[in-house]
Amino acid sequence: MSAISAVGLKKTYGQGDERIEAVRGVDLEVRAGEVFGFLGPNGAGKSTTVRMLTTLMTITDGTAHVGGVSVSDDPHGARRKIGVALQEAGLDNRQTGREILTLQARLFGMNAATATARAQELLELVGLVDAGERRVKGYSGGMKRRLDLASALVHEPEVLFLDEPTTGLDPASRITVWDEVRRINESGTTVFLTTQYLEEADQLCGRLAIIDDGLIIREGTPAALKADLRNRKGLDADPTLDDVFLEATGRTRERAAGEVKEV
């Protein structure tokens, strides 16, 4: 069964001359249990697609299902199937970590005792028990990400959406998040991950899609995408995922003053 499916997904903003097509017809099929990477340059339509799939944005055209539930026809049903951790760790800085998790659990229908127990369990699991009574305002970036991840898991979702979960994190925190994503996935949760870090996609994702200018331009396993580029270009060695990305999006790299930059 598909964990996520989208057909002809479109999002348009504005009207007339100011009409902008942020997503122009995305088709997606993510199988249950996989880690699916969604890559693209800034402004390509990654976050817009995630926001439509997670009920946070209205869909202009097309259909989307998560866990078999139509996102637009039954948004509450879809919300019960998904966990969401967006680019900004969406947390209330004036509450403590424990309060945030407990509230989240109660909003997903748990009674007070169950919610309290679930909050404790999650604090233990993300290593934040000692910080549980502290207000989130005093947390480091890595702690906020872990708490955000924990709050997305509070109701044991079938599908976890992670929108650039490691942006802004130091390397150690990034590796910690990667480990957690792997473990979450090993326990059976489907993960839909957007990232700008190609190494991250290579490390974590079984399959991935590259979106540019609102359309999916490549889709497959990292190995298949690399092999395809190697064959098409007649390369002697396997290219990196960076090469696949740059070739797909029509961008090139040039080395100037010792730095590699996209142009």
Q: What share of the chain is helix, strand, coil (3-state, %, to 5)?
A: 40, 30, 35
Q: Which alpha helices (H) appear in the chain, and where do they start and end?
A: 46-53, 75-81, 97-107, 112-125, 141-152, 171-186, 198-204, 222-233, 241-249
CB 212 within 8 A of CB 170: no
**β-pairing, 159-163 with 190-195?**
parallel
Q: Which one, 46 or 146, has the nearer CB to other proteins? A: 146
Dist CA 81 CA 68 (whole Å): 9
Provide, rounded to whole angstroms, the least separation between the CB of residue 132 and other proteins.
14
Provide, rounded to whole angstroms, the least separation between the CB of residue 48 and other proteins.
9
Provide, rounded to whole angstroms, the least separation between the CB of residue 63 and other proteins.
18
Residues 188-217 that bind other proteins (CB under 8 A): 188-189
Binding mask 127-166 for other proteins (x = CB under 8 A): x-------x----------x--xxx-x-xxxx-x------
Pick from 191, 174, 194, 173: nearest CA to 182: 191
CB 198 within 8 A of CB 41: no
- Interacting residue with other proteins among 61, 73, 92, 133 (CB under 8 A): 92
CB 184 within 8 A of CB 71: no
Q: Does 76 bind other proteins (CB under 8 A)?
A: yes
- Interacting residue with other proteins among 107, 117, 223, 235 (CB under 8 A): 107
Provide, rounded to whole angstroms, the least separation between the CB of residue 216 and other proteins.
21
- Give the residues lining the site for other proteins (CB under 8 A): 13, 33, 51, 54-58, 76-77, 79-84, 86-95, 99, 103-104, 106-110, 122, 124-127, 135, 146, 149-151, 153, 155-158, 160, 176, 180, 183-184, 187-189
